[in-house]
Structure 1
Amino acid sequence: MASRAFWALAVYRFGRWVYERPGHPLMLAFRALYVLLFEAGRLLTKTSLSARSRIESEVWIAPRGEVFISLGARVGRGSMLHGGNTLGVGGRPGARGHPQLGERVVLAPGASAVGPVQLPDGSVIAANTLVGRSLPRGHGWTGIPPKPVPAARIVLPTPQRFDSLRKEAASMYPEHLRLHRKAPGRDAVAPQLHRQYQLDRR
């Protein structure tokens, strides 16, 4: 049976088709159908993909973990969202906006971006990282605020064995903490990660 991410993307594609054809004689009926499918899908799949967002081809979304993509966000071709991800509106008054992800961007479990931020092609965002300002280049990024690390050092779940987002995320905390011990400004973040790791082990 198809995963819930598959159904969420299918409803999203249908919504895009509906809103791109405003003059169709049956559009009111199609819009009503889309709204019903969207609300039902949001409750059942725990995934909210606005039809006003831009999700390009070959995007993979994990079958576990909630995903929220706001109406003005963009997810570039070939990107991967491993679950527990939010791409939400934010920013200062007068400069609010939505995240724009380039191509082949990878968000590990719990990674999120808020506001009018740019994530360049090939960026890899580590677990539980929050991006609140544009990143200068495609690279590995970890922490709050994000610090650059080699992308190869960021631990990611293998999609074929993605059975439990909670277990996968918990397995990443030790590596995440180790990276923070070597990064500037680590003292404010590492204790929080350690507490979360202890909770997830229970």
Structure 2
Amino acid sequence: MFDNIRADLRAYGGNWTKQGFWVMVVYRFGRWRYGIRPSLFRKAFSLAYKVMFRAIQVLTGIELPCEAPVGRNLLMDHFGGIVISGYARIGDDCRIGNGVVIGIRNAGELGAPTIGNNVDISAGAVILGDIRIGNHVMIGANTVVLTDVPAWSTAIGVPAIITSRRTPTE
């Protein structure tokens, strides 16, 4: 847990006052508590996590449940409106702007997006459903993504129009 927190602090430029870093500390604690044995001790840590999760959600406006697997160096630069489903998966070196929603498409569905590595999700973007976002993708501000996005692409618009950022020779 502490190695991950140190890496998160480096990702935030060593600035522990960043709200995204606070969210990551609570997230890492939540993931760490699953390994605590015996279960009686884990329940006490689970209660502490639930209190911290709600407090950080109110303070930062960011909801990142510990059930969602997240890679290293996830950056959430700005306050508020970030909601990530516990069913989503996020890769390494991703950046999420304010007002982003990553979640299920319809009530009753359990499938949420799988986000690849090095993905930049701009402010106000909405990514819904059991879809895959490839590596090195840029998702524009206020874009609504409901279909898969291949690697090295840009998605912009409502609904998203996907264009490649690679030339055939690359």
For 1:65, the equivalent position in structure 2 comes to 80
For 2:32, the equivalent position in structure 1 comes to 17
Helix, strand or coil at the partner of 1:135: coil
Shift of 1:135: 1.8
The correspondence of residues 20-169 of structure 1 with structure 2, limited to 5 A, is: 20-21=35-36, 23=38, 25-91=40-106, 96-149=110-163
For 1:184, the equivalent position in structure 2 comes to none
Contact 1:119/1:138, CA 8 A, preserved across alignment: no
Task: Give aligned-pair identity as a percent.
Answer: 27
Task: Measure, in 2, the Cα distance between the counterparts of 1:119 and 1:22.
Answer: 36
What amino acid sits opposite 1:44 in the alignment? L
Structure 1 length-normalised TM:
0.68
Helix, strand or coil at the partner of 1:148: strand
Runs (5+) with no aligned partner, structure 1: 153-202
Alpha carbons of structure 1 residues 97 and 27: separation in structure 2 relative to 1, 3 Å: same
Shift of 1:89: 1.5
Contact 2:72/2:93, CA 8 A, preserved across alignment: yes
For 2:19, the equivalent position in structure 1 comes to 4
Helix, strand or coil at the partner of 2:147: coil
Helix, strand or coil at the partner of 1:55: coil
For 2:7, the equivalent position in structure 1 comes to none
Could you list the per-position Cα deviations for residues 92-136 of structure 1 after superposition, in whole angstroms to 9, with x for gaps in the alignment? 86x640110000011011112111010000110000001112123
For 1:169, the equivalent position in structure 2 comes to none
Helix, strand or coil at the partner of 1:5: helix
Shift of 1:5: 1.1
Task: Measure, in 1, the Cα distance between the counterparts of 2:20 and 2:115.
Answer: 19
After the TM superposition, which parts of structure 1 deviate over 4 Å for at least 4 consecutive aligned residues?
none
Runs (5+) with no aligned partner, structure 2: 1-15
Contact 1:4/1:45, CA 8 A, preserved across alignment: yes
* Equivalent pairs, count: 151
Helix, strand or coil at the partner of 1:54: coil
Please report the RMSD computed on the Cα atoms of aligned residues, expressed in angstroms.
Answer: 2.1
Helix, strand or coil at the partner of 1:110: coil
